[in-house]
Amino acid sequence: MKLIRTEDYTEMSLEAGKIIVEKIRSNPAITLGMATGSTPKGTYDYLIHDHKSNGTSYREVKTVNLDEYIGLPAEDSNSYHYFMRENLFQHLEISEDLTHIPNGTAPDLKLECQRYEQLIKDLGGVDLQILGIGQNGHIGFNEPGTPFSSRTHIVTLAQDTREANSRFFNSINEVPTHAITMGIATILESKEILLLISGENKAEALLKFMNGEISEDFPASALKNHHQVTVIADRAACKFI
């Protein structure tokens, strides 16, 4: 595992963006695994800036997102479909057919999980997965206790995750209780992983990740079993390491 320490969020985003652009340039038909949330937003801003100023092409790039809330349609401003469209896709001239996000309103959610797993297989797997981390160590929406052998599945969101994400909603009651997420085994099959960590509120999670044991109680620790993980963390997140 490689750890890149950066001064702040801006530098973290820049470092991550540069790595992603380099990968796209060497493999224009790359399959990228995407994350949502505050952490990757600056990285996405960098990709947009680079696309507009350097012309990096997304014509053949394919994307698969980690997760989506159950019950929120794509037009809902809190859905991850909406987040990706607003914060990245619409600025990149990327074909909608090549961007994939689990459908949290599918009539048969179990079937949707199977479809998503098969889709990732059909794409030849994820070449580079971008990940954030929850304060409780979750990756995607795999909350503590999720088996490392899990594939794309339906999860009940932990109360602390719903509280953390309520900042985007009018009240916590509006935060969905369930989500669909790539499983930990699905994530670990990515050829390469970029884990982004920013801010003092993630410092304990980073400490646990670096120094704690590998345990299903802390989902991100599964990444220690992967051989191509780069962690980019800013100074605030590195407070305890």
Which residues carry out catalysis?
Answer: 67, 136, 138, 143
The residue behind tokens 């790039």 is 61
Smaller CB separation from ligand PGA, 98 or 185: 185
Residue 35: closest CA among 2, 68, 78: 68
Cβ proximity to ligand PGA, 37 vs 125, nearer residue: 37
CA distance 102 to 127: 18
Give the shortest CB-103-to-ligand PGA separation in angstroms. 20
Minimum CB–partner distance for residue 38 and ligand PGA (Å) = 4
Instruction: State which residue has the least CB distance to ligand PGA.
Output: 37
Residue with tokens 């052998």: 149
Number of residues that bind ligand PGA (CB under 6 A): 7
Burial of 22 (0-12, 13-18, 19+ CB in 10 A): exposed
Q: Rounded CA gap, 201 and 37, in Å?
A: 14
Determine the 3-state secondary structure of 184 from DSSP.
helix
Q: How many whole angstroms separate alpha carbon 204 and alpha carbon 233?
A: 12
For residue 89, report the phi and psi dihedrals to the nearest 5 degrees. Answer: -55, -45
User: Helix, strand or coil for residue 215?
Assistant: coil
Does position 159 interact with ligand PGA (CB under 6 A)? The reply is: no
Applying CB under 6 A, among 18, 25, 29, 38 the residue interacting with ligand PGA is 38
> Rule CB under 6 A: is residue 27 a binding residue for ligand PGA?
no
Binder to ligand PGA among 6, 13, 39, 65 (CB under 6 A)? 39
CB 31, min distance to ligand PGA, A: 20
The residue from 88, 133, 157, 229 that contacts ligand PGA (CB under 6 A) is 133
Residues in a beta bridge with 234? 6
Residue with tokens 């991550």: 16
42 binds ligand PGA (CB under 6 A): no
Backbone phi and psi for residue 19, each to the nearest 5 degrees, phi listed first? -65, -45
Interaction between residue 146 and ligand PGA (CB under 6 A): no
Q: Which of 37, 125, 147, 212 binds ligand PGA (CB under 6 A)?
A: 37
Q: Is 65 in the site for ligand PGA (CB under 6 A)?
A: no
Q: Smallest gap, in angstroms, from Cβ of residue 122 to ligand PGA?
A: 26
Contact residues toward ligand PGA (CB under 6 A) are 37-39, 132-134, 138
